[in-house]
Amino acid sequence: MSIAKKIFKNSELFQQLEKLMNDADTSILEIYNSNNFGEESKGDDSPVTKADLAAHQLLVDGLQQLTPNIPIVSEEDPSSLTIPAEHSAYWLIDPLDGTKEFIKRNDEFTCNLALIESGASTLGFVSIPAKQELYYGGKELGSFKQHKQHEPTPIHHSSKKGATRVVASKSHLNAETQEFIAQLQGKIELIQAGSSLKFLKIATGEADLYPRLAPTCEWDTAAAHAILEGAGGKVLQADSLQPLVYAKENILNPYFIASAKG
């Protein structure tokens, strides 16, 4: 049995992981609702705020207590970026995806936690702090949406007749992606969204296709990737049409296309 399945079946542990995500959301919102983001630039010129760091520390501390035998890799901890061997399992964290959206105060940022096993993302948690929504799931588990303290409801992609609904980045819609979209056949409806919300829109049936022909890192995609697969979708490398994999020597993802099956 996969570690993801064991965690999913352990209701006490799973509830503690859900609470950990909720606590991370609270730490993010405390800063979001303040007038002091503490914005700085990292070495790659991408922004980081106090919210990124607060959620990172809270998640790392919590995971070390809940699952002490599972290593942790986080975007905000350069010392953790030596990826464990491919056959091992580890947590992969993006504590605040969509930092630019956070700074713009448009609510389209997420907190992301994924379990990687043998190069695959097998369990993902994605929260939308500003909406108090939590999504979770995996290919073997199904996927679910929970709003505040309400009971979770299953999610799955449902096809819609008419235009192909293509979701693209709000902050990173480049010429290569625009060219790909222009070459699609039939009527196209373009939907723009920030952060890992793009995967969630496919998982919930609000979009059909997400081409990403621009750089991303493994932590940007892993959690929402698992949720999309649990909802019946797929994420393929753009050049080979093989599944997007994790635990590579290079933390960068190849270009990819996320879609609903069929």
| Residue pLDDT tens, the chain, 262 long | 999 999 999 999 999 999 999 999 999 999 999 978 878 776 565 788 899 999 999 999 999 999 999 999 999 987 777 766 665 899 999 999 999 899 999 999 999 999 999 999 999 999 999 999 999 999 999 999 999 888 999 999 877 778 899 999 876 778 898 889 889 988 999 999 989 999 999 999 999 999 999 999 999 999 999 999 999 999 999 999 999 999 998 899 999 999 997 5
pLDDT score, position 103: 92
The angle at the Cα of 67, spanning 244 to 218, to the nearest 5 degrees, equals 20
Binding site for Mg(2+): which residues? 75, 94, 96-97, 220
Q: Are 66 and 20 in contact (CB under 8 A)?
A: yes
pLDDT at 234: 97
Cα distance between residue 197 and residue 203, in whole Å = 10
CA distance 149 to 146: 7
Report pLDDT for 226. 99
Of residues 261, 241, 186, 221, the one with CA closest to residue 75: 221
Nearest CA among 93, 7, 106 for reference residue 58: 93
Distance CA 170, CA 66 (A): 35
Q: What domains sit in the chain, N to C, each tagged with a CATH number? A: 3-155 (3.30.540.10), 164-260 (3.40.190.80)
pLDDT at 45: 57
> What is the C-alpha end-to-end distance of the chain, expressed in Å?
28
Q: Which residues are known binding-site members? A: 75, 94, 96-99, 220
Burial of 47 (0-12, 13-18, 19+ CB in 10 A): middle
Three-class SS state of 161: coil
Bridge-based pairing of strands 233-237 and 209-212 is: unpaired
Amino acid code (one letter) for 140? E
**Which residues define the annotated binding site for substrate?**
75, 96-99, 220
Residue 120 parent element (H or E) = strand 120-128
Q: What is the pLDDT of residue 43?
A: 59
Give the predicted TM-score (pTM) of the model.
0.95
